[in-house]
Amino acid sequence: MNIHCKSNEVPVQSIPNSERMRTLKDIFMVEFGCNPSFFARVPGRVNIIGEHIDYCGYPVLPMAIEQDILVAAGLLDEPKLCIRNVNKKYESFDVKINTFEELQIENDQNEKPNWYKYVLCGIKGALEHLNNKKSSGVQLLFDGNIPPASGLSSSSALVSAACLSFLYAQKAHLNKTEIASLCAKSERYIGTHGGGMDQAIAFLAERYSAQYITWQPLKATPVALPEDATFVVAHCLAEANKAATDDFNQRVMECRLAAKILLKVSNGDKNHKITTLREVQETLRTTLEDMVNLVHKQLPKDIYTKDEICTLLEVSEKELDSLYLSPNTKHFKEFKLKQRALHVYEEAIRVESFRKVCLEVLRDEKIRKSNGTNGSDKTYENGNGNKHKTLEILGKLMSASHESLKNLYECSHPNLDYLVDLSKKMGIHSRLTGAGWAGCIVALCPKDKTEDYIQMLKEEFYSKQCNVDKDKAKHYVFATSPNHGAVIFK
Ligand code: GLA
């Protein structure tokens, strides 16, 4: 039940009477000797299409999943932060919180950050937003069931749950879009230059629909997915933490450099403020298709050396480092610009096509329901056969997205490719979801095939390839449907 819920504010609901909540409360009592003052819940997400384009300014289409981070929070009189996890493999951490500047989140480059550093990111961001004004310290006990390092946004949910709890403890009122943007900014303290997709869907998600997320200003528009489609998530059993390698930031920087060069060679503009491929498209007032042609024309080489890029941009190496590169990408001597920019513009086209088909399906379903007929000729004239055709169009867009991520963006993994190929043999289209380099695929499955598909993956991949028994495999492959965003329980 909602206690209060102004639209665009994180809803405050009464505490659910569940086993998980009771256990969390009991463990909180053991850890801190008191009851929690409130709880917060932030979901993970699966991105249906639009991968690695949020940080280039393009819309994406994720949905929240059922798996989440749940946190029990208590208030302290002293300026202190006490972090605990229900799972004892995650160590405890206590620290004084005076100012955000003092809260250190240094991470050794190329090392997997300790879990609580994500919590610190959320608190640091919140403190910075509050100009270090705080009324309480906090005790936080976390319980998560989003598989870590799997492309389902476990780290962003952790950052967001920490930031949300801290702000709520300080009685700070931020609306959902403000807090989503703050959490995206906060997570960059870990060192990765992510876009805002994960945090946006964490707060703006709604039940029953995916969200078409657009930027500047941040906005989420619900997109109803076809009724006869199920989205299945399958873990490839390899993990990748994007803060533990340079790969993620390297892609972000390559897109940034491609944007700078396209702008420079197209209209001589040296505007330092323009850094995204979308801003270039907007400046040139042209279509995405024209941008694809422009990339072929202006970025023809497979590899650009740092020297070549400096010459093209008329900057010194020092300027290039300080203006456009992150600390962990300055040492790179070569960059792939054509491939990355092509992926971004073509993926942005695929997102638009996907959304358009979903809107058409919805319109046809509405017409069909209101007329009691079969709706428009194109989609439904022959009942199920044509419904499957629509799913085939959407599926093909997802397959094309995977091919592009594998070949142009080079962020797949042999296990992910194996799962995608296996799915294709059964006529199911799928793609890697999230940052990639390991983690999960998301597959679009006609509802009537879902059980057989999951069964096939359990046998052919989890059992035969990975020796995982069927009972355990259910944690790695599951059907999912759009869930709601973050909530406070009190
Ligand atoms: C990570 C980032 C997101 C997005 C995806 C790739 O999840 O946090 O912002 O860039 O990778 O689409």
pLDDT tens per residue, range 306-359: 999 999 999 999 999 999 999 999 999 999 999 999 999 999 999 999 999 999
Q: Which of 68, 143, 198, 364 is catalytic?
A: 198
pTM of the model: 0.95
Question: Which residue has the CA at smallest separation from atom 11 of ligand 1?
Answer: 435
CB atoms within 10 A of CB 193: 16
Does 469 score more than 60 pLDDT? yes
Mean pLDDT computed over 177-195 = 97
The ligand 1 atom at the shortest distance from the C-alpha of residue 47 is 12
Q: Which structure tokens are listed for 95?
A: 């620290």
- Alpha-carbon torsion angle 319, 330, 153, 131, nearest 10: -50
Q: Using CA atoms, how far apart are residues 69 and 222, in angstroms rounded to an integer?
A: 23
Longest dimension (CA), the chain: 68
Reduce the DSSP state of residue 207 to 3 states and report it: coil
Q: Which structure tokens are listed for 135?
A: 């009324």
- Please identify which residue in the block is written with the tokens 């052919």: 460
Element (H, E) at 4: strand 2-4
Reduce the DSSP state of residue 413 to 3 states and report it: coil
pLDDT tens readout for residues 279-310: 999 999 999 999 999 999 999 999 999 999 99
Q: Using CA atoms, how far apart are residues 334 and 331, in angstroms rounded to an integer?
A: 9
Q: Using CA atoms, how far apart are residues 453 and 462, in angstroms rounded to an integer?
A: 13
Q: Using CA atoms, how far apart are residues 66 and 481, in angstroms rounded to an integer?
A: 8
Ligand 1 centre from 175 Cα, in Å?
Answer: 22
Q: Using CA atoms, how far apart are residues 329 and 337, in angstroms rounded to an integer?
A: 14
The per-residue pLDDT for 24 is 98
pLDDT tens readout for residues 202-214: 999 999 999 999 9
Instruction: Order the strands of the 93-96 sheet from edge to edge.
Output: 2-4, 12-13, 487-489, 38-49, 61-76, 137-144, 80-85, 93-96
Which residue out of 45, 49, 52, 398 has the highest number of ligand 1 atoms within 8 Å of its CB and is therefore the one to mutate?
Answer: 52
Q: Which structure tokens are listed for 288?
A: 């995405």
Which domains are present in the chain? 1-222+247-372+483-490 (3.30.230.10)
The residue with greater pLDDT, 477 or 365, is 477
